Structure 1
Amino acid sequence: MSETNRENEFGEIKSVLVYLEQIKKDIHTKSLSEQDDFKKEIKGRHDRKQIKMLHGRLEDQFEVKKAISYLVTAFLALVSLVIGSTMSFALGIIKDNGMNLSTAAVVIIYLFFVAIGAWVVISKFDSGRFGKLNCYKRLLQECLDEMPEKNILEEEYKKHQTPY
């Protein structure tokens, strides 16, 4: 692939995570040798500057994800508030009309399990996304650590060159 195609391809990336998953999906569940293959692929496709850019974008996504993780807690607090208010209101109506309180207990238990189920699903989704972001970020950092900096190599070359 020519250098221009690489630059055009790199410039077309809209989501770093989606791009990296296209190269190797679910790398966080793969073996170390498969992760090494992924790193070789990245180093073959991109130069150090591009890998730094990808790494920076992933870091940003990771930080944003951490920053908004409080929304899960806020959501569950609101759900708890609504369930509590609804139960209190419903129990008042049931008592006023002389209805069976065992039905209310079943509804309360049902709502409790729905809230717990929602929490499990949201937490599972969030932790999976954190795992992916963290793994790709780590692998890009390892790529950067393994790649020599161009400036250091150029300086070493210039030191050993003899002037004419």
Structure 2
Amino acid sequence: MTLPERDKRLISAWLAGADAHPGAVHAAWADRGLALLPLGHRFDAIRVPAARVHAAVHSDDARTVAAFLGDWLAGTVIRDTRSGLGPYYVLIAPDSAWNGMEERLSTGTFLGVPRLGHPVSTLTRWVVPPTAPGDLCDPAHLSALLMTAETLKAVEP
């Protein structure tokens, strides 16, 4: 899905607002295609190992995973692609509950967030890009997805 330029600007401004210096975020996106944003203000991130996501989706194909996560989580997901085992980062609201075993990243942590639109970085990419400012995942949906992965693992031969 291609977003209108106005929507990209609004989403980018919302994301950059996670930092005390949004202009520096925009400059980093322009220069490197990636900006380190502080967590705990606009959003937190749940770091999920790729193997857990791929087990739940029954695929490691990027398009299949993106479509599945977009439908299931209905929110924003980033992937660190420095290796084939790179984790997924599911973005959630800072005040939302999380009781899963996956690590929640919040205040005091920075996350590499790619620029919207044409990616420059091959290290980090949007799996499910935001479609509006504040487009975050419901942790209950993530929990259900990961429980599905555990159930499937238990019954597979």
Report the TM-score range of the alignment, normalised by the length of the smaller protein: under 0.3
* Superposition TM-score, scaled by structure 1 size: 0.24
More helix by share: 1
* Superposition TM-score, scaled by structure 2 size: 0.24
- Highest CA radius of gyration, 1 or 2? 1
